[in-house]
Amino acid sequence: MRIEEAFAAAGLNIRGEPIPARRVRLTCAGCGIVSPADAMQTEESGDQTNYICPDCGAVAATVSPAPGLGGYRLGDWVVNSSGGMAIDVPGPNEAV
């Protein structure tokens, strides 16, 4: 499950449109770089998806169904961003 799919499965959106991965900003705890989720490589292992920092190669975020993990609970999924996560919400005249 990719991060944008987890948001969609939880019913979260921007002005009725799905939140695209380019709007999800992940901060790497290893080096502090902030990157959009779609600029990161992903590694999938079973039901878990890891987002890899393009700068230092550390895991910047994971998406998994594991209950009890720390992070942001999105329905049946958990998004855990070790350094932080933000959604870049477009202005009123900007496309989602």
Predicted confidence at residue 77, as pLDDT, reads: 93
Segment-wise mean pLDDT, segments of 10 residues, the chain, 96 residues:
96 95 97 97 95 97 85 92 94 90
Q: Rounded to whole angstroms, how far apart are CA atoms 70 and 50?
A: 15
Predicted confidence at residue 32, as pLDDT, reads: 97
Percent of the chain whose pLDDT exceeds 90 = 81
Where do the structural domains in the chain lie, given as residue ranges?
Answer: 3-86
Please give the torsion angle defined by the CA atoms of residues 28, 32, 37 and 41, in that order, rounded to the nearest 10 degrees: -60
Predicted confidence at residue 44, as pLDDT, reads: 96
